[in-house]
């Protein structure tokens, strides 16, 4: 869980840099963009609905984008991206270096 907390901290940096997509519709639309502007990593909250999991899994498989299922719930994910009074099920990271760092943190668990 410590590595995931570090990954959520890096996600906060990406959010402050404006290099994320938040939510299912925006992330799915962003995956359709040209290669340089699309999310390089998609994070999925532990409490995401079955429909959300299916849609995100299908899209990330189609566009060959890494997908990480977090142990954190939607409220913790929302807090990491700066949304205080909400829950977020899906976040995409478009910054290459931050996406790589988050993926390394999550795979180091």
Q: Per-residue pLDDT averaged across 4-30, rounded?
A: 93
Q: What pLDDT score was predicted for residue 36?
A: 80
- For residue 15, what are the CA distances in angstroms to 51, 79, 107? 25, 11, 21
Q: 100-104: long-range contacts at Cβ-Cβ below 8 A with a sequence spacing of 24 or more?
A: 100/40, 101/10, 102/7, 102/10, 102/11, 102/14, 102/41, 102/43, 102/68, 103/41, 103/66, 103/68
Residue 109 has pLDDT above 70, yes or no: no
Q: Taking the domain 2-107, which CATH number applies?
A: 3.30.1330.30
**Domain extents for the chain?**
2-107
Q: What is the pLDDT of residues 94-103, one digit of tens each?
A: 999 999 999 9
Q: Model confidence over 68-96: pLDDT tens digits?
A: 999 999 999 999 999 988 899 999 999 99
At residue 51, the pLDDT reads 96
């Amino acid at each position: 869980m410590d590595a995931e907390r570090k990954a959520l901290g890096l996600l906060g940096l990406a959010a402050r840099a404006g290099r994320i997509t938040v939510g299912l519709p925006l992330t799915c639309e962003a995956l359709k963009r040209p290669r340089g502007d699309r999310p390089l990593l998609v994070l999925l909250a532990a409490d995401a609905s079955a429909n959300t999991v299916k849609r995100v899994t299908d899209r990330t498989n189609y566009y060959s984008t890494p997908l990480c299922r977090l142990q954190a719930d939607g409220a913790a994910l929302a807090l990491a991206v700066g949304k205080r009074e909400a829950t977020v099920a899906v976040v995409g990271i478009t910054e290459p270096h931050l996406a790589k760092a988050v993926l390394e943190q999550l795979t180091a668990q």
